[in-house]
């Protein structure tokens, strides 16, 4: 079948909505974020619900970094030097990241790295 | 990523996207999947940002990520961004930022600021096209009136192109992947042609959440990097997001 050959181009699908079946992994939960709260406090509920999943993601990125730079130097730079950027970021976002780091127990540098991933990966 | 904005025959605007992320970030040989993509899926949430108990904007986001990649200001505009790769990339912007040249905006903070503060489609369009940035990007913007939709192609310094909906010319949708719309996509990563083929087959008469979801469920528009599909209708203040999977056979990007 032609569609089984890379790049696996299918005939246009139909009848997939409402989502179900093999291409559907689940619905996305809703949360509220109160912008009247101090930036440091805004993400507490979300982080407390998803702390394990967030930690797993960051750990996986660290493992990847370690496989490329086994000395651990890159992680050291992220943990020690990246937090120096926080004061230069737009104020409310910097405070929000600090709040996320405090609530999750993750090093601030790793939270910052996650938040500037786009700029890092556009090459 | 694949983002699209389409207008139906009554002038109602639909904005949808597949968020693809995690290329080259660890391939899981056992499960035929990207490790980071797999770990991102449980972090996808819809967020209702409120002030004075009133919705300011809605977003589909990743927990721990304070910027925005997909969002809607109900009744006003919808916004998604797609990654634009360039040698003059974000790493140069970061370097400049570290060296003290801080006139550019971080991409995801700019989109968040636009969703939070812009009060009209035109204001959002101006901010997204004129603000200096640290990294190149595609902004896909939809409004709430007939003809209000565009793809803004950005370099770090300037706006390279604004590609608008043009109903009179028969352009009832705009569809953007990760390549400049006036150039051919990379031949091993052509999601644009299958996406457009399915949109054309759907026709403007039949456009809806259901048919757009069908388009975004067709491989390779749906691929191993797809974490979620989001569907937005600005006039109904409706945002739906679904976690995705791409069982084999499925292209890795």
What DSSP designation does B200 have? H
Are the beta carbons of B228 and B243 closer than 8 angstroms? yes
Per-residue pLDDT band at A1 (split at 50, 70, 90)? low
Q: Is B137 exposed, middle or buried (0-12, 13-18, 19+ CB in 10 A)?
A: buried
Residues 6+ apart with CB under 8 A from B9: B204, B205
Radius of gyration of chain A (CA): 19
pLDDT for A79 equals 93
pLDDT at A118 over 80: yes
pLDDT for B162 equals 98
Q: Is B89 exposed, middle or buried (0-12, 13-18, 19+ CB in 10 A)?
A: buried
pLDDT at A123 over 80: no
What 3-state DSSP class applies to B172?
coil
pLDDT for B23 equals 83
What 3-state DSSP class applies to B14?
strand
pLDDT for A64 equals 87
Nearest CB to B228; choose among A28, A61, A100: A28
Q: ipTM of this complex > 0.85?
A: yes
pLDDT for B180 equals 98
Task: Inspect the interface and report whether the beta carbons of B66 and A93 lie closer than 8 Å.
Answer: yes
CA of A118 to nearest chain B CA: how many angstroms apart? 7
Task: Give the containing element (helix H, strand E) for B13.
Answer: strand B13-20
pLDDT at B205 over 60: yes
pLDDT for A59 equals 94
Return d(Cα B129, Cα A44) in angstroms, integer.
Answer: 33
Per-residue pLDDT band at B26 (split at 50, 70, 90)? confident
Q: Which of B1, B150, B198, B246 is catalytic?
A: B1
Radius of gyration of chain B (CA): 17
pLDDT at A2 over 80: no
Are the beta carbons of A79 and A107 closer than 8 angstroms? yes
Task: Inspect the interface and report whether the beta carbons of B67 and A115 lie closer than 8 Å.
Answer: yes
pLDDT for A117 equals 87
Per-residue pLDDT band at B196 (split at 50, 70, 90)? very high
Lowest pLDDT segment from A65-74, B10-19, B127-136:
A65-74
Per-residue pLDDT band at A91 (split at 50, 70, 90)? confident
Average pLDDT, chain B: 96
CA of A17 to nearest chain B CA: how many angstroms apart? 5
pLDDT for A103 equals 97
pLDDT for B88 equals 87
In the A/B pair of chains, how many CB contacts fall below 8 A? 214
Question: If you measure CA to CA, which chain A residue comes closest to B34?
Answer: A60
pLDDT digits (tens, 9 = 90+) for B157-167: 999 999 999 99
Task: Verify whether residue B198 is a known catalytic residue.
Answer: no
Mean pLDDT of A18-46: 97
Task: Give B-chain residues touching A23 at CB under 8 angstroms.
Answer: 217, 222, 244-247
pLDDT at B131 over 70: yes
pLDDT at B216 over 90: yes
Are the beta carbons of B40 and B85 closer than 8 angstroms? no
Mean pLDDT of B91-98: 91
Q: What percent of chain B has pLDDT above 70?
A: 100
pLDDT for A3 equals 65
pLDDT at A69 over 90: no
User: For A31-58, b where at least 16 C-beta lie within 10 A, e where not — what string?
Assistant: bebeeeeebbebbbebbeebbebbeebb
User: For A89-116, b where at least 16 C-beta lie within 10 A, e where not — what string?
Assistant: beebbbbbbbbbbbbbebbbbbbbbbbb
């Amino acid at each position: 079948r032609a569609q089984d050959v890379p790049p696996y181009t299918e005939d246009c699908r139909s009848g997939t909505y409402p989502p179900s079946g093999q291409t559907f992994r689940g619905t996305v939960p809703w949360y509220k974020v109160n912008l009247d709260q101090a930036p440091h406090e805004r993400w507490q509920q979300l982080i407390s619900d998803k702390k394990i999943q967030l930690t797993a993601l960051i750990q996986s990125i660290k493992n990847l970094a370690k496989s490329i730079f086994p000395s651990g130097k890159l992680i050291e730079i992220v943990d020690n030097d990246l937090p120096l950027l926080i004061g230069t970021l737009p104020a409310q976002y910097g405070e929000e990241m600090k709040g996320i780091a405090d609530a999750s127990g993750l090093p601030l540098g790793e939270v910052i790295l996650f938040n500037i991933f786009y700029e890092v990966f556009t090459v | 990523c694949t983002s699209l904005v389409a207008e139906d025959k009554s002038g109602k605007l639909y904005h949808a996207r597949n968020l693809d992320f995690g290329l080259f970030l660890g391939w899981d040989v056992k499960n035929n999947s990207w490790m980071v993509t797999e770990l991102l899926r449980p972090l996808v949430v819809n967020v209702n940002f409120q002030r004075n108990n009133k919705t300011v904007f809605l977003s589909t986001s990743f927990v721990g990520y304070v910027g925005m990649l997909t969002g809607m200001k109900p009744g006003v505009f919808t916004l998604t961004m797609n990654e634009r790769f360039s040698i003059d990339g974000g790493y140069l912007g970061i370097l400049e930022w570290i060296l003290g040249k801080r006139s550019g905006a971080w991409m995801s903070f700019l989109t968040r600021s636009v969703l939070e503060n812009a009060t009209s489609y035109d204001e959002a369009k101006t901010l997204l096209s004129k603000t200096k940035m640290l990294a190149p990007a595609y902004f896909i913007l939809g409004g709430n009136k007939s003809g209000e939709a565009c793809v803004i192609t950005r370099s770090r310094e300037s706006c390279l192109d604004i590609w608008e909906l043009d109903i009179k010319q028969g352009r009832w949708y705009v569809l953007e992947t990760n390549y400049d719309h006036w150039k051919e996509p990379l031949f091993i990563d052509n999601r644009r042609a299958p996406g457009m083929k399915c949109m054309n087959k759907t026709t403007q008469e039949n456009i809806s959440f259901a048919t757009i979801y069908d388009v975004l469920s067709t491989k390779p528009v749906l691929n191993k990097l797809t974490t979620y599909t989001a569907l937005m209708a600005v006039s109904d203040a409706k945002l739906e997001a679904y976690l995705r999977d791409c069982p084999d056979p499925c292209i890795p990007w």
